[in-house]
Amino acid sequence: MALQLDTHTSLPGDGTLGALAARVWRPDVEGPSVVALRGQDVIDITRAFPTMRDLCETPDPATALQLAPGERLCSITELFDNTPPIPATQLAHGCWPRSTCRSSRPPG
């Protein structure tokens, strides 16, 4: 059995109304980025918060996450579609595959 990420099973019941942070792999920079999930978009906020620790150690991480400027990478659906299923054996050991946005630039 494997876990497949999608918006219905991976986001809270209220979607992205709260402050949601994640790390994604960016092939174009060959490394991870700290992102905010806002609306339907994945926003890279690494310039404001280079690490998750930097974000979490602010006096008000939720507000900092919501207000941090950043670059749109892709939609949340695109991110989940580009994340391979996670085998149960990896879940048991806390191993997660790299999630990537195929396009790091908005269309148009």
Q: Residue 24 sits in which domain range?
A: 2-92
Please report which confidence band the pLDDT of residue 83 belongs to, taking 50, 70 and 90 as the band edges: confident
Q: Is there a domain that residue 85 lies in?
A: yes
Mean residue pLDDT across the chain: 83
Q: Is there a domain that residue 104 lies in?
A: no
Mean pLDDT of all residues in 30-41: 94
Percent of the chain exceeding pLDDT 90 equals 48
Q: Is there a domain that residue 102 lies in?
A: no
pLDDT at 106 over 80: no
pLDDT at 20 over 60: yes
What is the per-residue pLDDT for 107? 40
Q: Is there a domain that residue 34 lies in?
A: yes
Order of strands across the sheet that contains 71-75: 20-26, 31-38, 41-44, 71-75
Mean pLDDT of all residues in 14-23: 88
What is the tally of structural domains in the chain? 1
Select the more confidently predicted residue: 105 or 53. Answer: 53
Select the more confidently predicted residue: 102 or 26. Answer: 26
Does the predicted model carry a pTM greater than 0.95? no
Q: Is there a domain that residue 31 lies in?
A: yes
